[in-house]
Amino acid sequence: MLSNTILDKLNRQVNLEAGSSNLYLHMSAWLLSQSLDSTAAFFRAHAEEERAHMMKLFDYINETGALARIGDVALPDVNWSTHIELLEAAYSHECAVTASINELVDAALQEKDYSTLNFLQWYVAEQHEEEHIFSSMLHKARIVDTMEGRARFRFDEEIRKSALNQGWVHQHHAGNLPHHAVSGGGAGQE
């Protein structure tokens, strides 16, 4: 059985995940309006992923015999001037989600709610991945935003197309490369 404190925090997290889904769907729409179709597709898919995160929390709460509550989801501010501003907002949002998850983990630990603590470990790992993805996208956008950066980005793409896809990297060395580099998701294709 969940304590009122843990239940309140879990329900807040449900709403935060719903807000994340809403935010990323709005970001997708803005990106489409800027003809950034691939990035828009990423954000649309990510909106669905955030909804899945919400449902996982929703199901956990209900499985404990408690009542999951979904509150109002605020309309996000959609006044980005550039795709870099949008990516900064997305990264900042993911950092806020991480802080919320960490607060939940801390509360579960303090209350010795080991079942919830165990459940939340998936979210801890997921947030590490989310922050990395959005930080990397933002970093690449900033690189490409300069003339020198475009040259570096293009060079990295050529290496991905030739060296990595042609098998020039020996398998025993491939284990030292980031997964996205070996799987063909090089620079710009997280």
Q: Does 127 carry a binding-site annotation?
A: yes
The model's confidence at residue 188, banded by pLDDT at 50, 70 and 90, is: very low
pTM of the model: 0.80
The model's confidence at residue 178, banded by pLDDT at 50, 70 and 90, is: low
Q: Does 94 carry a binding-site annotation?
A: yes
pLDDT the model gives residue 135: 95
Phi/psi of residue 80, nearest 5 degrees: -90, 140
Q: Does 50 carry a binding-site annotation?
A: yes
Judge contact between 51 and 21, C-beta under 8 A: yes
Inform me whether the pLDDT recorded for 174 exceeds 80: no
DSSP code of residue 72: -
Query: How far, in Å, CA of 107 to CA of 100, rounded?
Result: 11
Inform me whether the pLDDT recorded for 122 exceeds 70: yes
Q: Which residue has the higher pLDDT, 174 or 106?
A: 106
Q: Does 49 carry a binding-site annotation?
A: no
Domain ranges of the chain: 4-139, 146-179
CATH superfamily of 4-139: Ferritin, core subunit, four-helix bundle (1.20.1260.10)
